[in-house]
Amino acid sequence: MRLMGLDVGDKTIGVAVSDLLGLTAQGVETIMRTSNKAAINRIRELISERDVKKIVVGLPKNMNGTLGPQGEKVLSFVKKLEEKVDIDIVYQDERLTTVAAERMLVSADVSRKKRKKVIDKVAAVYILQGYMDRNRGNI
């Protein structure tokens, strides 16, 4: 079963998908959020193209586990997405995924300009891979 990971931000949405066996996550693209409708339409296209059966959305939480303003924005976007897709959507705690993605890109000596273009896609990979690793055998 192929899964899709989303890192939903105010301006962009990072997208990753799993391999068919659900073992590894690969970055696909970064969607510019010109509008929710356009972003959701692109997500729907990717679901169809890649035969995705479940979406894993990174849910940003505060370090104490509570939901902050950004978490509320993600929930609002996902509610709109749920109205347009007919597949399961689950949440994955995404605390520190962007930090981990940034560190990985810095250690790979990726320039600041290039990091900005791929950071959300890499964060989506971390979100999806974390979900798959924690749920191995139960997906």
Which tens digits make up the pLDDT trace of 34-67? 999 999 999 999 999 999 999 999 998 777 777 8
Kindly give, in sequence order, each residue whose CB lies less than 8 Å from that of residue 96, ignoring residues fewer than 6 positions away: none
Assess if residue 70 is contained within a domain. Answer: yes
Assess if residue 40 is contained within a domain. Answer: yes
CA dihedral 90, 95, 101, 103 (to 10 degrees): -170
Confidence of residue 135 (pLDDT cuts 50, 70, 90): confident
Assess if residue 68 is contained within a domain. Answer: yes
Q: Is 5 helix (H, G, I), strand (E, B) or coil?
A: strand
Assess if residue 139 is contained within a domain. Answer: no
Asked if 29 contacts 50 with a C-beta cutoff of 8 angstroms, the reply is: no
CA dihedral 7, 16, 99, 101 (to 10 degrees): -160
Backbone angles phi, psi at 3, to 5 degrees: -110, 155
- Parent domain of 48: 2-134
The candidate with the shortest Cα–Cα distance to 53, out of 25, 27, 20, 28, is: 20
Kindly report, residue by residue over 59-118, the tens digit of the pLDDT.
987 777 778 888 999 999 999 999 999 999 999 988 666 666 667 766 766 666 665 666
Confidence of residue 22 (pLDDT cuts 50, 70, 90): confident
Asked if 16 contacts 25 with a C-beta cutoff of 8 angstroms, the reply is: yes
- The pLDDT of residue 40 is 97
Assess if residue 71 is contained within a domain. Answer: yes
H-state helical runs in 1-139:
36-50, 69-82, 97-107, 112-134
Is the model's pLDDT at 17 over the cut of 90?
A: yes
CA distance 87 to 46: 13
Assess if residue 78 is contained within a domain. Answer: yes
- CATH label of the domain that carries residue 46: 3.30.420.140
The candidate with the shortest Cα–Cα distance to 17, out of 41, 39, 49, 40, is: 49
Q: Number of folded domains in the chain?
A: 1
